[in-house]
A and B are shown apart, each in its own frame.
Chain A
Amino acid sequence: MSGSTAAAAAQRAAGERSPASAALPGAWRLGLARGAMEIKLFFRQREQVIFTFAFPIVFLFLFASIFHDDMAQTGSTASQYYVASMTAAGIMSTSFQSLGISIAIERDEKALRRLRGTPMPPSAYFLGKIWLVLVTGVLETAALLIFGATVYDVDLPSDVTGWLTFGWIFVLGITGCALLGIAISSVPKSGRSATSVVVLPFLVLQFISGVYILVDTVPNWMLTIGSFFPLKWLCQGLRGVFLPDAAAALEPAGSWEYGRIALVLGAWCIGGLVLCLLTFRWKSRNDG
């Protein structure tokens, strides 16, 4: 007993002389450092910035200009419907799509393997991605809402309760979609195929979740499939925040179902995290 204590003390003493045994930097601090670096990298890729932000705005403009009639007995226009839907799609594109593609490319280029060879804790990598997604998601959403409010007269919430509702839907939605994006990044075999692998399911989800097509027009069986994924609930929640109450008549349930939205999005946050922990790979598949 005393022998092992002495040995441990000797080891500690030896350790204090060795610089490598100085305290390892914490995951939270490194997460912040990685987040700052990810954001810097993102904004230096001008093409990516323009397309990430412009894509949902262009689609909003197209859909809201093609379909702009009043929606019967809802007190709102189709244009306003699209502002809510496209904001949801924008949140999913900055989280699910960006992460799904960028992580697959980083893995293919062995940038992930390199990180694995450093003492950086894995959680710092994921924290950095979360910061990136939060910052780009907030900017994207702000751009869409400003565009929607000025061009299509969408009423932004006038009270704190409305913004709080928006807040929790945004946070749960973007987190769930981000985790799903991290999970899908392990599917493509190479960085080159990542875009197709990630974009196809995202496009399909946008059709069956009431983004491009009005939710009361989407066939029931499609909407049922859509309800298993976060996008449908994210759209529904944002309609609840930005459309008049009467518009709830369009919803299959006839109400905004905030309780169920919280439940499904929350479940995706937990399920997505589990999925990521089980499937995440630091090396590409053909790299052993």
Chain B
Amino acid sequence: MTDDVVNVRGLRKRYGDVDAVNGVDLDIRRGEVFGILGPNGAGKSTTVEILQGHRRRDGGDVTVLGQDPGRASRAWQARVGIVWQDESAPAELTVAETVRHFARYYPAPRDPDEVVELVGLTAKADARTKELSGGQRRRLDVALGVIGGPELLLLDEPTTGFDPAARRQFWSLIRSLAAEGTTIILTTHYLEEAEALADRLAVIAAGRVVAEGAPASLAGRAQARATVHWAEPDGTARSEETDTPTRTVAALAARFDGEIPELRVTRPTLEDVYLRLIGPTQLTGPEDKR
């Protein structure tokens, strides 16, 4: 028996004559935070919607928590939490009322007050949804996604439109959920978000997985050549690309006899790797289906 929460083989979805998803394979393990990266229209949202059971697929095998999401039962839905890209809770209900009401749908919900606390809305518990800021609404969405105590939480571009502070707060919320053992799948087009949160990543471009792995080693990133940067005594900036940065730094240290001015050693950022991965396919990717 595998301990995979999600198994996807050869997933396909067409919109008209465009292949939005064209042979995606994914295996996501229990307890993992799994990031799905890709340009707009690459097929991330379609993939996640198929995992949620809200979009029919045209081909391939999909198993989520042991069931085909296309034929999901109520019991299955109670085990899966969903945070959509764009949604609205009833404007005239308060935060506490909304969370309490949604708790009633589930067989074994979490404590509503505790969930409101978890998403950091305790101070706003008695405010009506229409009075919340965009970031606060998103936290309410997360509260509704986790109120049923899901084993798997699916988030589709959860921080789009957030300011940097709100994004950091949101990240710590996701980390605390992951620490509780919830398996989390999130799509994003923010690379720093993927790097900060995900244990593993898949990059989807033009309907296919073009790379998969831990953010630090994605697409050979850890083995890639490093660049050593420094400044000469006259102020000229110098750099050298090398497979052996330690040796280069040692040589420099000997030459400067102590501190090397403006020393930096860099490897390709996730962004460099990502842009290289999606580069050739980006322009031919199908339009985002909304």
User: Which positions in A face B, CB cutoff 8 Å?
Assistant: 19-25, 30, 33, 37, 40-41, 44-45, 109-111, 113-114, 116-121, 283, 286-288
Tell me the count of chain B residues lying within 8 A, CB to CB, of chain A: 33
CB of B290 closer than 8 Å to a CB of A: yes
In the bound complex, CA of A116 to CA of B74 (Å):
10
Write the nearest CB–CB distance from A101 to chain B, whole angstroms: 15
Chain B, range 40-91, C-beta contacts under 8 Å to A:
49, 52, 54-55, 74-75, 77-80, 82, 84, 86-90
CB of B9 closer than 8 Å to a CB of A: no
In the bound complex, CA of A21 to CA of B89 (Å):
27
Decide: A30 near B82, CB < 8 A? Known: A118-B148, A119-B74, A119-B77: no
Q: Is the interface of B mostly helix, strand, loop or mixed?
A: loop
Q: Which of B55, B77, B80, B108 contacts A288 (CB 8 A)?
A: B55
Task: List 19 A-B pairs, Cβ < 8 Å.
Answer: A20-B108, A20-B148, A21-B107, A22-B107, A33-B104, A109-B88, A110-B86, A111-B87, A113-B54, A114-B84, A114-B87, A117-B52, A117-B84, A119-B74, A120-B105, A121-B74, A288-B49, A288-B55, A288-B289
In the bound complex, CA of A147 to CA of B290 (Å):
50
Q: Residues of A contacting B79 with CB < 8 Å? A: 20
Decide: A24 near B75, CB < 8 A? Known: A19-B107, A33-B104, A113-B87: yes
Write the nearest CB–CB distance from A10 to chain B, whole angstroms: 12
Q: Residues of B contacting A37 with CB < 8 Å? A: 90, 93, 97, 101
Chain B, range 82-121, C-beta contacts under 8 Å to A:
82, 84, 86-90, 92-93, 97, 101-102, 104-108
CB of B186 closer than 8 Å to a CB of A: no
Write the nearest CB–CB distance from A244 to chain B, whole angstroms: 44
Write the nearest CB–CB distance from A207 to chain B, whole angstroms: 34
Write the nearest CB–CB distance from A218 to chain B, whole angstroms: 40
Q: A30-B104, A111-B89, A117-B84 are in contact. List 4 more A-B contacts (CB 8 A).
A: A20-B108, A22-B108, A111-B88, A288-B289
Q: Residues of A contacting B151 with CB < 8 Å? A: 20
In the bound complex, CA of A121 to CA of B84 (Å):
20
Write the nearest CB–CB distance from A36 to chain B, whole angstroms: 9
In the bound complex, CA of A40 to CA of B148 (Å):
23
Q: Residues of B contacting A114 with CB < 8 Å? A: 82, 84, 87, 89, 144
Write the nearest CB–CB distance from B15 to chain A, whole angstroms: 8
In the bound complex, CA of A120 to CA of B104 (Å):
9
Write the nearest CB–CB distance from B85 to chain A, whole angstroms: 9
Decide: A41 near B92, CB < 8 A? Known: A24-B74, A114-B144: yes
Evaluate contact between A20 and B78: CB separation under 8 angstroms: yes
Q: Residues of A contacting B89 with CB < 8 Å? A: 111, 114
Decide: A21 near B84, CB < 8 A? Known: A116-B54, A287-B290: no
In the bound complex, CA of A288 to CA of B88 (Å):
18
In the bound complex, CA of A25 to CA of B148 (Å):
12
Evaluate contact between B144 and A44: CB separation under 8 angstroms: no
Decide: A33 near B101, CB < 8 A? Known: A19-B149, A111-B90: yes
Evaluate contact between A119 and B93: CB separation under 8 angstroms: no
Q: Name the residue of chain A whose CB is nearest to the CB of B151.
A: A20
Decide: A20 near B54, CB < 8 A? Known: A44-B92, A118-B102: no
Q: Residues of A contacting B149 with CB < 8 Å? A: 19-20
Q: Which of B54, B55, B93 contacts A41 (CB 8 A)?
A: B93
Q: Residues of A contacting B105 with CB < 8 Å? A: 25, 30, 118-120
Q: Which of B78, B86, B144 contacts A119 (CB 8 A)?
A: B78
In the bound complex, CA of A276 to CA of B85 (Å):
28
Write the nearest CB–CB distance from A190 to chain B, whole angstroms: 13
Evaluate contact between A117 and B92: CB separation under 8 angstroms: no
Q: Residues of A contacting B144 with CB < 8 Å? A: 114
Write the nearest CB–CB distance from B162 to chain A, whole angstroms: 19
Write the nearest CB–CB distance from A12 to chain B, whole angstroms: 13
In the bound complex, CA of A44 to CA of B84 (Å):
26
Q: Residues of A contacting B49 with CB < 8 Å? A: 288
Q: Residues of B contacting A21 with CB < 8 Å? A: 75, 107
Q: Which of A44, A111, A113, A118 contacts B77 (CB 8 A)?
A: A118
Q: Residues of A contacting B289 with CB < 8 Å? A: 288
Q: Name the residue of chain B whose CB is nearest to the CB of A23.
A: B107
Write the nearest CB–CB distance from A76 to chain B, whole angstroms: 42
Q: Which of B88, B90, B92, B107 contacts A20 (CB 8 A)?
A: B107
Write the nearest CB–CB distance from A47 to chain B, whole angstroms: 11
Evaluate contact between A110 and B87: CB separation under 8 angstroms: yes
In the bound complex, CA of A117 to CA of B97 (Å):
19
